[in-house]
Amino acid sequence: MRAPVWSTSPRRWTRRCLPACPLATRRRTTPCRWAPGPASTPGTRSLRSRASGPPGTMDPRDPITSTRGVGPVLERRLTAAGCRRVLDLLAHLPLRYEDRRTLGRLPGADHRATESAAPGPLTVVAQLESVRRVFGRRRFSRVEAVACDGAARVGVVWFNRPYLAQQLEEGVPYLLHGPLRRRGGDGPWQLSNPSVERISGGEPNGGPFDGGGVRPVYGRIGEVPPSRVARLAGDAIRGLRDTSGPDWIEEWLPCEERIRHGLPRLAQALTEVHSPSGEASIEDLNARRSPAHARLAYGEFLLQQLQLAAARRQRRRSGKPHRYRADRVAWAAASRLVPFRLTGAQERVLGEIADDLARNEPMLRLVQGDVGSGKTVLAALSCLMAARSGLQSALMAPTELLAEQHFTSLARLLGSHMTIALVTSSQCAASDDGSVSRPESTEERIAAGRIDLVVGTHALIQERTRFARLGLAVIDEQHRFGVVQRQSLARKGLRPDLLVMTATPIPRSLALTVYGDLDVSVLDELPPGRRPIETRVTTDGRMEETVEEVRRRLESGGRAYVVFPLIDGGEGVATGLPSLKEFGPRWARALAAPHGVVHGRLRRQERDETMSRFAAGSIQVLLATTVIEVGVDVPEATAMVILGAERFGLAQLHQLRGRIGRGTDPALGDPLCVAITGDSSAEAKRRLEAFAATTDGFRIAEEDMRQRGPGEILGTRQAGLPQFRFGDLARDWRWLVAARQDASGVLDRLAGPGNDALRRQLERRIPGLMSPEEGSPRP
């Protein structure tokens, strides 16, 4: 028995039967979704639920179903990927652009006779012949055809697109755009995986034919493929422009800033990004340097800088209840207590801190500088001035070992001028009598105000640690803490001054975003006597030479680090990288010196004990992972070997290198850092050469951000890193600086006329920003 038509070919059955159905006739007469149609009758459900705008128009805030071609299945896929509104779709910018404005010609069949043809993208109008699907191994297939433009014939191949074998028609003109290559390197020319559009009546897909124009190429949105995303974005732009006019989205950027920077309106920018004009520069579009991209990036940066400016104003107008009894003479006298002369950079930053503490609003300052640049001394002098003003200070470090080092050095430096206590989860101590105190007594003395400076770890922000009059909070290695910890320490007092320090060089653009609510000081000068570190990049095959160099420094009384990228040998074998457990014993035997092992899987007490022995000199070689990145100060450390150096970021390599060369004894020899790599790629070579070429941490940080992005510099624990959809901190830093400079003036004019749209944008990000009584930004 023959199967019914509908069971074997649903499409053919639909074409035969649907025209006879009266419902189908009514459906075909339904008005176009872009055009105004009759209002829904009572009791019926509208085709789409509108968010705003009059009937028959399209608004970017409408649900994604208002875009042509979005049915229930596609809506679920887009919604699952976070694309719920038309504006969400338009915020998905193209990855790149293809220039199809210039039509080319196919090279001749005899490739030896057409040496003038160059490989690269080609846009051509041609007919297709001999379209067929070819099956390969493992059920993979490709579609092959021959393209003919009337003068030459070239092979065309599509991979992973089997449906084209049924869709493409022979003898019909198509617009093809794709890479032109020689098969096998020197064989005949071939178009590989070109995009293909049918030309009907001289127009591709029924649209205006200008040679193809500039076409955006998108990435996937969840499970929606790039080609479908491109059609949806194009339909959305045309629908918005046709139904709502050229200004189809509300412009919130102040006119003064927009004109001064020469930026287009928001609707024009989004239109140009998704549907570039014929005059657009393909180089600027692909580099995201076009005026349209600049408008989106600047607008995003401005909103973020306005948030930070509002936070700064709130802080400055809130005031602080305490005052410092210190002037320039008192600061100069305190500086003379330090047994060495401050560098010019230290004196400059100390003056900035002194000015902050003298103001009525709480200080919120970031001090950044390379390892060994003298940040701790500035914190110590600030805490001394707080103690002389009757205030307490707190210094929080990320590890117990580093907290103990700070406690020891501060007690030795200023212990005779102030009382200093150590508070960690495992021990407490007080410096006035040198005895170890019970935790209860130390906490009681802190709560009673008899301790001037408290040094500790996360124990400082726990509930049991209470301060009588906390006036200054200092956070060391700020990037190791999240925003929550910083705020928790500040809440231990009544609007205390806050000084945060980091040895991780942060590019200016990143500092303006992550620490935009802080005033930034830079220590760009090392103390005198520090010898420059020689940095070498070598391969696995030159281990013997490296071992000899390290041995000479050990024989002179120096100490050495050997850093591994992995702990387990099994993990190292899987990745081809040296591991601590597999290669550590080999390096210990080769260096023939007392050694210790430190990695993240050891108990903290065992790890700290090994580090203390290394600092004391009972062991000379420390085999470690990156846990030593933030460690104790060992002036005798003069050598470091970093294995698998290609595994680390540039900023991390610089941090590791900063562990050596901190002493001034010339008998220890010149400090040496050797980066060993097994990666011979040009990219790895370029990165490591950039690391070896300079010891300037800020130059390295800028290069690291360009290569790996801002998130990798600060680490995943940094909760304050904003996520930008349009702007790139490395590429668009000039627009970020402009937004920073404009934010204060824009905030001053926020309550004025013509800024309603901007106020609505900010109210979504800062609820309660505007004071209803005064009609002005809240302080």
Nearest to 283 by CA among 298, 293, 269, 295: 293
Kindly state the DSSP code that residue 275 receives in the 8-state scheme: S
CA 17-20-25 angle, 5° bins = 115
Tell the burial category of 532 from Cβ atoms under 10 Å away from its Cβ (0-12, 13-18, 19+). exposed
pLDDT score of 517 more than 90: no
184: β partners: none
Tell the burial category of 730 from Cβ atoms under 10 Å away from its Cβ (0-12, 13-18, 19+). middle
Amino acid 713: pLDDT: 54
Amino acid 31: pLDDT: 36
Contact assessment for residue 266 and residue 240, using Cβ atoms and an 8 Å cutoff: no
Write phi, then psi, for 196 (nearest 5 degrees): -140, 130
CA 442-446-450 angle, 5° bins = 100
Domain 534-694 falls in which CATH fold?
Rossmann fold (3.40.50)
Amino acid 44: pLDDT: 31
Confidence of residue 160 (pLDDT cuts 50, 70, 90): confident
pLDDT score of 264 more than 90: yes
CB count in 10 Å sphere of residue 693: 13
CB count in 10 Å sphere of residue 186: 8
How far apart are alpha carbons 456 and 407 in whole angstroms? 8
Amino acid at 621: V
Tens of pLDDT along 191-250? 989 988 888 655 454 444 455 688 899 999 999 999 899 999 999 999 999 888 888 999
Amino acid 506: pLDDT: 74
Confidence of residue 54 (pLDDT cuts 50, 70, 90): low
Tens of pLDDT along 667-694? 888 899 999 998 878 888 888 998 999 8
Amino acid 454: pLDDT: 96
Q: Which CATH code for domain 102-212?
A: 2.40.50.140
Confidence of residue 696 (pLDDT cuts 50, 70, 90): confident
User: Token pair 């006879």 is at which residue?
Assistant: 20
Tens of pLDDT along 565-606? 998 865 544 456 889 998 999 999 999 999 999 998 888 788
Confidence of residue 265 (pLDDT cuts 50, 70, 90): very high
For the segment 479-495, the average pLDDT, to the nearest whole number, is: 79
pLDDT score of 124 more than 60: yes
Amino acid 393: pLDDT: 96
For the segment 5-15, the average pLDDT, to the nearest whole number, is: 41
How far apart are alpha carbons 669 and 639 in whole angstroms? 9
pLDDT score of 32 more than 60: no
For the segment 458-485, the average pLDDT, to the nearest whole number, is: 84
Determine the length of the chain. 779
Where are the chain's structural domains? 1-30, 50-96+215-277, 102-212, 534-694
Amino acid 436: pLDDT: 43
Q: Where are the beta strands (DSSP E) in 288-375?
A: 364-369
Strand 776-777 to 770-771 pairing:
antiparallel
Asked which of 7-16, 143-152, 509-518, 743-752 is least confident by mean pLDDT, the reply is 7-16
Residues of the chain with pLDDT > 90, as a percent, come to: 39
Which of 55 and 724 is assigned the larger pLDDT?
Answer: 724
Amino acid 709: pLDDT: 66
Which of 186 and 276 is assigned the larger pLDDT?
Answer: 276
How far apart are alpha carbons 395 and 415 in whole angstroms? 15
Amino acid 383: pLDDT: 95
Amino acid 70: pLDDT: 92
Q: What mean pLDDT is reported for the chain?
A: 81
- Give, for 75, the enclosing helix (H) or strand (E): helix 72-80
Q: CA dihedral in degrees (690, 696, 701, 703; nearest 10)? A: -30
Which residues touch 449 (CB under 8 Å, ≥6 apart)?
A: 392, 467, 468, 469
How far apart are alpha carbons 669 and 29 in whole angstroms? 89
Amino acid 11: pLDDT: 42
For the segment 489-494, the average pLDDT, to the nearest whole number, is: 88
Contact assessment for residue 273 and residue 237, using Cβ atoms and an 8 Å cutoff: no
- Give, for 562, the enclosing helix (H) or strand (E): strand 559-563
Amino acid at 593: A
Asked which of 134-143, 270-279, 644-653 is least confident by mean pLDDT, the reply is 134-143
In the Cβ-directed half-sphere of 32, how many Cα atoms lie within 13 Å?
Answer: 8
Amino acid 536: pLDDT: 94
The three-state secondary structure class of 350 is helix
How far apart are alpha carbons 674 and 489 in whole angstroms? 39
How far apart are alpha carbons 92 and 229 in whole angstroms? 9
Which of 31 and 753 is assigned the larger pLDDT?
Answer: 753
pLDDT score of 427 more than 70: no
Nearest to 414 by CA among 445, 378, 384: 384
Kindly state the DSSP code that residue 531 receives in the 8-state scheme: P
Confidence of residue 439 (pLDDT cuts 50, 70, 90): low
Tens of pLDDT along 623-671? 999 888 776 789 899 999 999 998 888 888 998 998 898 887 888 888 9
How far apart are alpha carbons 547 and 564 in whole angstroms? 15
CB count in 10 Å sphere of residue 490: 20
Amino acid 711: pLDDT: 57
How far apart are alpha carbons 256 and 279 in whole angstroms? 26
Burial code of 49-73, b = ≥16 C-beta within 10 A, e = fewer? Answer: ebeebeeebbbbbbbbbbbbebeee
Amino acid 283: pLDDT: 92
Q: CA dihedral in degrees (597, 598, 604, 606; nearest 10)? A: 10
Q: In what order do the strands lie in the sheet with 428-430?
A: 428-430, 420-423, 453-456, 392-396, 470-475, 497-502, 364-369, 519-523
The three-state secondary structure class of 152 is coil
Amino acid 28: pLDDT: 36
DSSP string for 659-726 = TS-----GGG---EEEEEE----HHHHHHHHHHHH---HHHHHHHHHHHH-HHHHH-TT-TT----SS
Nearest to 563 by CA among 503, 492, 687, 652: 652
Tens of pLDDT along 408-423? 889 988 888 999 999 9
pLDDT score of 770 more than 50: no
User: Token pair 């070896």 is at which residue?
Assistant: 692
Which of 195 and 24 is assigned the larger pLDDT?
Answer: 195
